[in-house]
Structure 1
C-alpha cells in the first residue's frame, strides 16, 4: 500500500490545529474517515496524548502506556494516570516493539485513526514513522513542543472534534485547584524547585523555572517561587523549563529557605539529602523540603490533577 498525499484537515475539525501538526491521510482499504472527528477506533502512540483522549471520552481502542517514570499497573498494563479510563473502554496497552513502535500490534487493533507524536517515549518513537503508520490508517502527528497542558488539551480536542468538552475539563481543574489552595499550609518565604538527575545524585541536577508548567501551577496555588534557574550562569531553559546546575554550584543556586524536589527515575529526596553536595542546603538542614514525583515536571491534564493531589498531601494543613 502506498502513502496517500498529505491533505488539509477540515476547518470544522481542525481550526487552529495546523500550526506544527503533520497531517497524513492514508490510502486504500475499508471506509476510513476523512475527518478525524468521525473516527471510531483510535490508536494513540503517546501516553500523555492518550490521557487527553481518554479525558475527552474519545473511542480509544489501544494506546502506548509509556511515561518516563515507567509506572505501570502490572495487572492491566496501563499507567496509573489513566488505568481506570482505559480499563472501562476495554482498550489495549500497546507493546513497545523492537524500535519503539510495534506496527503489528497497531495493525491488530484495526484503527480508523492513528495519533502519533507527542513528548513521551512512544510519541517520540512514532513521530518519524508516519510513512509506516499511514499505510495502516490515517495518521496525525502531534508536535512535541506545545507549551503546556491547556494548549495540548485544546489541540487534541480540536483534532478529535470534541472542543465542547474542554470547558468542563478546565472548570474541573480550576475547582480542584481552588479546593487545594484552601486546604494547604504554604511555606514561609520563597521556594526553589529542583529536579534530580536520573543518572544519579553525582550528576548535575536541574533548577526548574517559575515559568515552567510546574511553577505556574504552584504559583496559582499561592506559592512564592524562587527563580533558581536564573542563577545558573549561561543556563538555557529546556522544553520542560529546566536548567542543568553544575554540582559545584548547587549551594550557590538553591539558596531559598524552602525546596521542592522532583524525583527523576531512581533518584529520590532521601538519596539526595544524604549526599554531601546537597545536605548543606538551608532547606535540607531545616527540614523545609518536600518531594513530588516525576509526573509534576510538565504535566498533561490528568497529571496536572494528580499534581494537585500531591501538593494537597505534601502541604496538608495541620490541626
Structure 2
C-alpha cells in the first residue's frame, strides 16, 4: 500500500465524498456527466499558461525531488532522473514504498550538460513535470520550448521553496486534488505538534551545512526550505545569510558555498546540523576530524547533529521522516 500515512489521513475525507456522491446522482446521471467532463485543464505557471490532460497516463518528472509528490497523488510516473547528474544509475527512495515499481518508473540519462531530450521523447509522455529547487530547474528553463514540443510541460517555480508550496501547486493547480493536499497538511501539522511537545530543544540559534562528495561545504539559507520548515518545531535558524555577504549557489537560492577559511568565522552558532548532498557524503564524526570545524563552538559544546541528506530538499514523505529524526535526536 502506497504511503500509508497519507492514505490514512485521506480516508475520512474520501468516505465523506463518496457518501455525498452516492446520494447526489443516479447511475444514469453519472454516466451523462462523465461524457461531458473536459479532457484538458489550463494550468497557470511562472512560464505561462499550459494546457494539460486531465487524466495523464505517462508523466516524465525531470526532478527526482518532485517525483514523490506524484506518487503521493497516485499519478503515473513513467520516468524520472537520478538524484545526481552523471549518475550511472538511480535508486528510488524507500519512503516511496512500492509506488515506483507499480508505475514501472525508469530513470532517464541526466548530465551536468542537460537532459537527454531523445530519451524523454522515447518515453512518449503526455505530460512533463520539471523545475523545483536547484539545477534541474535551471536546465529545464534552458530547454523549455524543446520540452513543450514533446509534451505539455509544467515547471514548478523556484519561489515555491517549501514542500507545502510545491505540493500545493501540484495537487491543487496541476492535478485538481486539493483534498489530498489538505489531508497531507493536516497529518503533517498533527505530527509537528507531537514532535514539538516531545523534544527538548538544543541551544539556539542553529545553522545547517551540507557537503558534496568532494568536500565542498554549502550553508543553508535560513529563510528557505528546511530551516524555515523546522522553525515549526522550535529550531530557530541563525541569520547566517542575512547577516553575511554571500551569494546563493546556482539557481536554487537555498544555499551558499562556504570555504574552510570562512567556516570558522561564520558557523559560530551553538548548534550545528550536518548533512550530505545527494548522498551520505558527510557526517558529524567525520567532520570533527577537520581541525577548523572541530574548533567551532558547536563541536566544542558537543552540539553537532546529523540529518539525512534527503532532508535538504525533502518532499512530503521526507518532511515527515525528518520530523521522526528530530524526535529521535531530542526526544
TM-score bracket for this pair, using the shorter chain length: 0.7 to 0.9
1:146-196 alpha-carbon deviations (Å, 9 max, x no partner): 232222112112112222321011112112222222333321x21421314
CA apart distance, 1:280: 0.9
Q: Deviations over 1:88-119 (max 9, x none)?
A: 33333333379542334433433222223333
Distance 2:59 2:196 in 1: 37
TM-score, length-scaled by structure 2: 0.73
Distance in 1 (CA, whole Å) between partners of 2:154 and 2:238 is: 39
* Deviating more after overlay: 275-284 vs 246-255: 246-255
In structure 2, the partner of 1:213 is 225
Contact 1:96 1:122 in 2 (8 A): no
Structure 2 SS opposite 1:18 = strand
1:189-208 Cα deviation digits (max 9, x unpaired): 2142131442655x5x3443
> For the residues of structure 1 that align with 2:111 and 2:298, how far apart are their CA atoms?
44
Q: Do the aligned partners of residues 95 and 69 (structure 1) sit closer, same or farther apart at CA in structure 2, a change above 3 Å counting? A: closer
Matched, 1:225 2:237: yes
- Match for residue 75 of structure 2? 58
2:209/2:219 contact within 8 Å kept: yes
Q: In the alignment, is the contact (CA less than 8 A) between 2:134 and 2:253 conserved in 1?
A: no
Shift of 1:292: 1.0
2:64 match: 47
1:208 and 1:241 in contact (8 A); partners too:
yes
Q: Assess if the C-alpha contact under 8 Å between 2:209 and 2:272 holds in 1.
A: no
Please tell me whether residue 262 in structure 1 is matched to residue 275 in structure 2.
yes
Alignment of 1:272-283 (within 5 A): 272-283=287-298
Greater CA deviation, 77-86 or 46-55? 77-86
* Range 138-147 or range 214-223, more displaced: 138-147
**How far apart in 2 are the matches of 1:130 and 1:209?**
27
Structure 2 CA distance for partners of 1:23 and 1:128, relative to 1, 3 Å: farther
In 1, distance between residues paired with 2:192 and 2:89?
A: 26
Contact map agreement 2:275 2:308 (CA 8 A) in 1: yes
Contact map agreement 1:118 1:124 (CA 8 A) in 2: no
In terms of fraction of residues, the more helix-rich structure is 2
Tell me if the contact between 1:47 and 1:63 (Cα under 8 Å) persists in the aligned partners. Answer: yes
Which structure 1 residue ranges, 5 or more long, are not aligned?
1-9, 25-33
2:46 matched residue in structure 1: 20
Q: Quick one: distance in 2 between partners of 1:208 and 1:267?
A: 15
Pairing 1:140–2:157 present = no
Which ranges of structure 2 fall in alignment gaps of 5 or more residues? 1-37
1:235 to 233, 246, 259: 246
Identify which of 177, 183, 195 aligns with 2:209.
195
User: Does the C-alpha gap of structure 1 residues 174 and 45 become closer, same or farther in structure 2, counting only changes over 3 Å?
Assistant: same
Once residues 190 and 71 of structure 1 are traced to their aligned partners in structure 2, the CA distance between those partners, rounded to angstroms, is 40
Query: Deviations along 1:251-291, whole A, 9 cap, x unmatched?
Result: 33323322222333533322321111111112212211101
- Alpha-carbon separation, structure 1, partners of 2:313 and 2:207: 13
Question: Judging changes above 3 Å, is the alpha-carbon distance between structure 1 residues 69 and 242 closer, same or farther for their aligned structure 2 residues?
Answer: farther
Sort the Cα spacing of 1:102 and 1:249 in 2 relative to 1 into closer, same or farther, 3 A: closer
Instruction: Count the aligned residue pairs.
Output: 288
- SS at structure 2 position matched to 1:218: helix
Distance between the aligned counterparts of 1:90 and 1:199, measured in 2?
30
